[in-house]
Amino acid sequence: MVASTIPSWIKQYDRVEIHQRAINLKGYIREWSDIYRFAIDRPIEDRINSVIKWVEHLKSINFHKDPNISDEIKELIERDDYKDHIKRTWEPYDTQFFTRGNYGEDLAVEVYPFEQLNKRWYEICDKCEIPRCELPKLNSPSV
């Protein structure tokens, strides 16, 4: 989730495109140096399985028949080899790819293991300087 002065058009990305790299966000978020930045480290196998599950859901509701979806998403949903394609496409992108600069520069993004998200959520709220709230259940860890 991006909560900032980031331009509204970038907030309209579809679900897959919410996986933004910190280096890209740094170019849009004016208060980058003044905010707490964090990411959740989820094992690549879990991320791949999540994308596969999402594509299967889209297939089941015939989302690809909607005339307003992007060609890229339509092509992905219609592929017979979508599972292999997703694996090939996502495997190179580990957490450091998303949280560091193009040449590995440290962008001061704190990384939390996905499995610890429930027990560290209030810590994240405090560091973000937002009121403590319940962790949303969408894609939350079961631990």
pLDDT at 132: 92
Measured distance CA(49)–CA(122) in Å, rounded = 28
φ, ψ dihedrals at 125, nearest 5°: -55, -45
Give the per-residue pLDDT at 8: 54
**pLDDT tens digits for 52-108?**
998 999 999 998 888 888 888 889 999 999 999 999 998 988 999 999 999 999 999
At 31 the pLDDT is: 87
Contact of 25 with 6, CB cutoff 8 Å: yes
Angle at 94 between CA 92 and CA 98, to 5 degrees: 110
Question: Distance between alpha carbon 125 and the CA centroid of its chain, in Å?
Answer: 18
Q: Which of 34-38, 47-51, 69-73, 76-80 has the lowest mean pLDDT?
A: 69-73
pTM, two decimal places: 0.69
